[in-house]
Amino acid sequence: MTDIQYLAPRTLDEAVQAFAASSGKGRILAGGTDLLVQMRAGTVTPHTIIDIKKIGEMTAIEETAGGGFRVGAGVSGAILREHPKLKKVWPGVVEAANLIGSTQIQGRATAGGNLCNGSPAGDSVPAMVAAGAIVTIQGPKGRRELPVEAVPKGPGRLNLEPGEIVVSFTLPARPKGSSDAYLRMIPRTEMDIAVVGCGVSLTLEKGVCTAARVGLGAVAPTVLLVEGAAKALIGSKLDEAALDKAANACRAACRPIDDKRGTIAYRTQIAGVLLKRTAAIAAERAGRN
Amino acid sequence: MSTTTTTTAGDDNKWIGKRTVRPDGADKVTGRAAYAADTNMPGMIWGKVLRSPHPHARIKSINTAKAEAHPGVKAVVTAKDVVDFPIAKSVMLGIQDMRWMCRNVMAREKALFVGHPVAAVAATSEKIAAEACKLIEVEYEVLPFVIDVEEAMKPDAPVLHDHITFEGKPSNIAGKLEHKLGDVGEGFAKADVIIERSFRTQPVHQGYIEPHACLVSVSDGKATIWSSSQGQFMVRAMCAYLTGIPQNDIRAIPAEIGGGFGGKTIVYLEPVATLLAKKSGRPVKMAMTRTEVFHASGPTSGSYSKVKLGATKDGKIVAGEGTYCLQAGALPGSPIRGAAGCAFAPYDIPNVHSVGYDVVSNRSKVAAYRAPGAPIGAYAVECVMDELAEALKMDPLQLRLKNAAKQGTKAAHGPTFPRIGFVETIEEAIAHPHYKTPLAKPKNGVLHGRGVASGFWFNAGGESSAQVNVNEDGTVVVITGHPDIGGSRASTANIVAEVLGIDYRKVSVLIGDTSVIGFSNLTGGSRVTYASAMVVTQSTENVIGQLKARAAKIWKIDPEAVIWENGEARPAGDNAGKFEPMTLGQLAAQANATGGPIGAGTQLNTTGAEGGFATHVCDVEVDPELGIVRVLRYTSFQDVGRAIHPGYVEGQMQGGAAQGIGWALSEEYIYDKNGKLDNPSFLDYRMPVTSDLPMLDTVIIEVPNPKHPQGVRGVGEVPLVPPLAAVSNAIHNALGQRFYSLPMSPPKVLAALESKTAKAA
């Protein structure tokens, strides 16, 4: 192995500085559940590793003034699950993050890492997209914000400038009657990668859907925000016709590949099935809120 | 659901049939067990293999000069360093032909699959060895390739080996095996119902958790090999053949084995590491990555098969015909004997014709996998049996019962069965609560189904050696020559404790290396507990004879007048004289005064390992929207002869069922368009994980083997024979649709359901 410089800065400024200085040969270490595996497989050979887990802002979950949440990019799935309020307000986001890997992996794996790995099959990403999460990014030129769906560029590629680090996800406050859900299709029950992943967030008023967002994973080069599906749901009572329309919108949005994990036909078909099932769970939860 | 055990024999035993604590357990759970990669030596260097990137290419030249000059490199080997076994003459070692083994460990004339070793480097670090591999210049003439068995059999397919001909023409068909009984033409003429179907299965890997690894030191021409295998004597013999070092100069030391399932019955790294160690003068360690294990170690065959069964209206099967085409991988040797031989063996069918074809193609050479070939054979026959039962409107277990092989049945592969327990497996299944419990009604669109299937495996005897030594303190050490992959140490200790009449904890069982124990054949063929029991029993009985003689000497009476009971020597009766019984401990303490150390060894070529049978019942649920199949309940019924250690027997039964469910539902080798394996990892080669399976229930049936001192039959392989068809038949029961190709993965199930819906509309 090449000699690797390991840094564990205490501040975001130091981290950004070190990352920018690594001139493309640095990698951010959050949970490391992708990075270390890639290094072992020889697919990445970083010269500098910048561990962000000692930076307070990146490892905290804060409630925002309006009743939303700011979740540090370096918060592990296990910590997310244990937060007393988050899972009540955003159960879909929490369940999606908790599907990543095994129990042991949950102690390490983070939503920030999941997003920055750039895989279209990352489980937490469609749920974050459905949730309308805003990503805070810090780089050499300062801070900026992007909607989560704008961060991935393609498999393994991100719309980030050199030296930029994903700091946190901001999840908005929820009106009454809102909830979310995430489902994925995997051939096994655990320890697998999504063949299709679907996140749905919605708001119901007297049984009528007044707001909805749908995120779809593993069916295109990046996780998709499916606006057509949301439109089909909004204004409906989530009746069969509306769900069929939304399912078809999901299928129409799919641009999957045939590979060892699933066929084009299979992924396309399943995208619609999962939309209906996920929407039903989100609606059931929303009805209780 | 609890695991149940039916015991019909041996309740009066103190140790045989008891769930004694496993001797390897504490070391394994605390991480102390030493597997092959856990041994290190001073001065040790690392070996790495350069592998072919092409599925089929002639090797025109190999230039190793740059690699040899690379700092840190201590040795480079190619096929030139491996002993050549010319194509013209077969040299067999067990079921392996050294002509193919020498070409499998190092490509000679051609690279025959992606991952085929073409050279190896030993260097002071793994990194340097890997770098040096990249400096080796191999000139390839890339050739057209063929992966699938049906493609490989076509007349215009690229031919892998010039010397192989079939029916006078160059061919990829490397061998044919045929079993015939009666006249199938006459048999089918009598049938009222005939069903013929074709089936396809994919290659599946044994999936042992421990990758192949070894450490080899060569000094003064003598080699010491630490490696993980299913037979240290196999390692020694193969390395002797492939390196030219005589067997007396090779000491093969078996490491604790992290799973084998047949896949460690051949060598990959050991001869290469031996050559590198000899050349460099340094101990050499080699360990495969998981990717290398998938690319270059043996899965079992994929297959194409066709099976036809005919029965009269009353459900008597009158004829059976089967053709099995099995992928051998790059070099001949697929398990056609298991497929063609075991397929029809559970049934008393007067007319059988079963044919196997051994077909080479550009993928890694297959290795044994748990009842090699038999699951492929049974899959086709047992699925057709299900259709036959449906056509005859018979319960599928009743159809099996009506046609079950029993004592006196002549099997197509040769033997006339002695007392066997197949009927009992079916009867127990019929009577079991599992088979009587109604299936759940469809709920939320999820459908339920139940399937059954049976299976047979030959089982094996063969060569085993054992030494039983009484220690000075009255404890006992037993040495056998078999790596323990299924609980043989615990079983051996149970037997010795029982025969000697002493506490199990006073018996330690060790696995001897090739220099300390006599020749013992592989751990394979479900033979070890069977054969070990025979040599260990004989040795222990010899020890008891010595103990009685020692007591007789002390008491100054005739040895014939001494009996051995409950771990003590006693006078046979009052006529023999009145003496206090002497324990093993007391006799051991006086051993030197009464004639010296007490111990005995036995070496046998064991025979009489009679076949094993099982019947499985499987419940599934199918989500027709997603195409997902989940197994909800699974019960295996197996005649084991005698369960020496029921816990291990259940483990074998559960493990086989788990592997079979994976084979049926999710495991497969997927190749890309360039002939390269596309899923060489446990992420994408989908073996079931614990949460995918229900508790796998087991019913042990004991119909003792009359030819064995404890009644043992082989246990470890039969459990993998029925599951493929049991799962398939259960899916049919749920969906009303039959599948003829494995794995029945979600995309396949969904596509089949959609095409059915389309046809209906």
Q: Which amino acid is at B749?
A: V
Instruction: Assess whether pLDDT exceeds 50 at residue B5.
Output: no
Confidence of residue B548 (pLDDT cuts 50, 70, 90): very high
pLDDT given at position B11: 63
Residue pLDDT, tens place only, A2-17: 589 999 999 999 999 9
Q: Please check whether residues B538 and B631 belong to one and the same domain.
A: no
Q: Please check whether residues B121 and B251 belong to one and the same domain.
A: yes
The CATH number of residue B652's host domain is: 3.30.365.10
Q: Residue A190: its chain B contacts at CB < 8 A?
A: 689, 691-692
Average pLDDT over every residue of A160-182: 97
pLDDT given at position A1: 47
pLDDT given at position B34: 95
Instruction: Assess whether pLDDT exceeds 50 at residue B195.
Output: yes
Residue pLDDT, tens place only, A134-145: 999 999 999 999
Instruction: Assess whether pLDDT exceeds 90 at residue B755.
Output: no
Q: Which of B606, B633, B663 marks a domain boundary? A: B606
Q: Please check whether residues B258 and B120 belong to one and the same domain.
A: yes
Interface touch B670/A185, C-beta < 8 Å: no
- Per-window interface: A 148-187 vs B, CB < 8 A: 185, 187
Residue B725 has a CB neighbour count (10 Å cut-off) of 29
- What is the Cα–Cα distance from B416 to A170, expressed in whole angstroms? 75
Interface touch A1/B127, C-beta < 8 Å: yes
In the three-class reduction of DSSP (H, G, I as helix; E, B as strand; rest coil), residue B365 is classed as coil
Q: Which of B274, B296, B318 marks a domain boundary? A: B296
Q: Please check whether residues B424 and B479 belong to one and the same domain.
A: no
pLDDT given at position A3: 82
- Residue in chain A closest to B743 (alpha carbons) equals A187
Residue pLDDT, tens place only, B440-486: 998 889 999 999 999 999 999 999 999 999 999 999 999 999 999 98
Instruction: Assess whether pLDDT exceeds 70 at residue A30.
Output: yes
Residue B666 belongs to some domain of the structure: yes
Q: Residue B746: its chain A contacts at CB < 8 A?
A: 185, 187, 195, 262, 266
Place of tokens 């802002």: A57
Interface test with B, best of A195, A260, A274, A284 (most B CBs within 10 A): A260
- Torsion, Cα A226 A229 A230 A233, to 10 degrees, reads -170
Say if residue A25 is exposed, middle or buried (CB neighbours under 10 Å; 0-12, 13-18, 19+): middle
Lowest mean pLDDT among A2-6, B7-11, B182-186, B654-658: B7-11
- What is the Cα–Cα distance from B633 to B429, expressed in whole angstroms? 13
Residue B192 belongs to some domain of the structure: no
Range of the domain at B496: 462-606
Query: Quick check: B624 and B599 in contact, CB under 8 A?
Result: no
pLDDT given at position B7: 41
- Say what angle helices B723-735 and B374-392 make with each other, to 10 degrees: 30
Residue B439 belongs to some domain of the structure: yes
Q: Please check whether residues B433 and B575 belong to one and the same domain.
A: no
- Residue in chain A closest to B625 (alpha carbons) equals A273
A105 touches chain B (CB under 8 A): no
Q: Residue B683: its chain A contacts at CB < 8 A?
A: 191-193
pLDDT given at position B1: 38
- DSSP strand E in chain A: where? 5-7, 26-29, 48-51, 61-63, 69-72, 134-139, 142-147, 152-154, 157-158, 165-171, 178-185, 196-205, 208-217, 224-225
Report CA-CA distances (Å) from A282 to A93, A198, A207, A249, B588.
Answer: 11, 11, 13, 18, 75
Query: Which residues of chain A are in CATH 3.30.390.50 domains?
Result: 178-288
Locate B490 and state its tokens. 């615990």
Residue B615 belongs to some domain of the structure: yes
Residue pLDDT, tens place only, B113-142: 999 999 999 999 999 999 999 999 999 999
- Residue in chain B closest to A273 (alpha carbons) equals B625
The shortest CB-CB distance from A189 to any of B127, B626, B691 is to: B691
Bridge-based pairing state of the strands B568-571 and B562-565:
antiparallel
Interface touch A192/B683, C-beta < 8 Å: yes
> What does the mean pLDDT of chain A come to?
96
Q: Please check whether residues B540 and B469 belong to one and the same domain.
A: yes
Residue pLDDT, tens place only, B91-102: 999 999 999 999
pLDDT given at position A19: 97
Residue pLDDT, tens place only, B388-438: 999 999 999 999 999 999 999 999 999 999 999 999 999 999 999 999 999
Instruction: Assess whether pLDDT exceeds 80 at residue A163.
Output: yes
Q: How many CB pairs under 8 A join A and B?
A: 51
pLDDT given at position A2: 57
At CB < 8 Å, which residues of chain B contact A? 127, 625-628, 630, 666, 670, 678-679, 683-684, 686, 688-689, 691-692, 745-747, 750-751, 754
Q: Please check whether residues B130 and B225 belong to one and the same domain.
A: yes
B658 contact partners, CB below 8 Å, separation of at least 6:
B688, B693, B696
A188 touches chain B (CB under 8 A): yes
Instruction: Assess whether pLDDT exceeds 70 at residue B10.
Output: no
Residue B378 belongs to some domain of the structure: no
- What is the Cα–Cα distance from B122 to B119, expressed in whole angstroms? 10
Q: What percent of chain B has pLDDT above 90?
A: 96
Phi, psi values for residue B144, rounded to 5°: -60, 150
Interface touch A189/B678, C-beta < 8 Å: no
Q: Residue A188: its chain B contacts at CB < 8 A?
A: 666, 686, 688-689, 691-692
Average pLDDT over every residue of B63-77: 98
A43 touches chain B (CB under 8 A): no
Kindly report the length of chain B: 761
Q: Residue A191: its chain B contacts at CB < 8 A?
A: 683, 689
Q: Which of B266, B296, B326 marks a domain boundary? A: B296
Interface test with B, best of A188, A195, A284 (most B CBs within 10 A): A188
Q: Residue B628: its chain A contacts at CB < 8 A?
A: 185, 187
Interface test with A, best of B683, B693, B745 (most A CBs within 10 A): B683
For residue B545, which of B606, B582, B599 has the smallest C-alpha distance? B599
Question: A42 or B251: which carries more pLDDT confidence?
Answer: B251
Instruction: Assess whether pLDDT exceeds 70 at residue A20.
Output: yes
CATH code assigned to A5-119+133-171:
3.30.465.10
- Residue in chain B closest to A196 (alpha carbons) equals B626
- What is the Cα–Cα distance from B43 to B19, expressed in whole angstroms? 44
Confidence of residue B12 (pLDDT cuts 50, 70, 90): confident
Confidence of residue B2 (pLDDT cuts 50, 70, 90): very low
Residue B315 belongs to some domain of the structure: no
> What does the mean pLDDT of chain B come to?
96
Q: Which of B270, B428, B610, B717 is catalytic?
A: B717
Query: Quick check: B18 and B5 in contact, CB under 8 A?
Result: no
Residue B339 belongs to some domain of the structure: no
Could you give the ipTM of this predicted complex? 0.94
Average pLDDT over every residue of B685-701: 97
Interface test with B, best of A269, A275, A284 (most B CBs within 10 A): A269
Confidence of residue B759 (pLDDT cuts 50, 70, 90): confident
**Is B126 annotated as catalytic?**
no
Q: How many domains does chain B have?
A: 3
Q: Please check whether residues B265 and B233 belong to one and the same domain.
A: yes
- Per-window interface: A 249-268 vs B, CB < 8 A: 259-263, 265-266
Place of tokens 């139940």: B450
Q: Please check whether residues B541 and B557 belong to one and the same domain.
A: yes
Locate B761 and state its tokens. 């509309």
A96 contact partners, CB below 8 Å, separation of at least 6:
A123, A124, A126, A127, A128, A182, A184, A197, A199
Say if residue B418 is exposed, middle or buried (CB neighbours under 10 Å; 0-12, 13-18, 19+): middle
The shortest CB-CB distance from A261 to any of B127, B628, B684 is to: B684
Interface test with A, best of B291, B673, B689, B745 (most A CBs within 10 A): B689
Residue B359 belongs to some domain of the structure: no
Quote the minimal CA–CA distance from B692 to chain A in Å.
Answer: 6
Q: Please check whether residues B638 and B706 belong to one and the same domain.
A: yes
Query: Which residues of chain A are in CATH 3.30.465.10 domains?
Result: 5-119+133-171
Confidence of residue B601 (pLDDT cuts 50, 70, 90): very high
Q: Residue A1: its chain B contacts at CB < 8 A?
A: 127
Residue pLDDT, tens place only, B273-321: 999 999 999 999 999 999 999 999 999 999 999 999 999 999 999 999 9
The shortest CB-CB distance from B670 to any of A188, A192, A260 is to: A260
Q: Please check whether residues B493 and B598 belong to one and the same domain.
A: yes
The shortest CB-CB distance from A187 to any of B625, B678, B746 is to: B746
Q: Please check whether residues B94 and B213 belong to one and the same domain.
A: yes
Average pLDDT over every residue of A19-26: 93
Interface touch B751/A265, C-beta < 8 Å: yes
For domain A178-288, the CATH architecture is 2-Layer Sandwich (3.30)
Residue pLDDT, tens place only, A239-258: 999 999 999 999 999 999 99
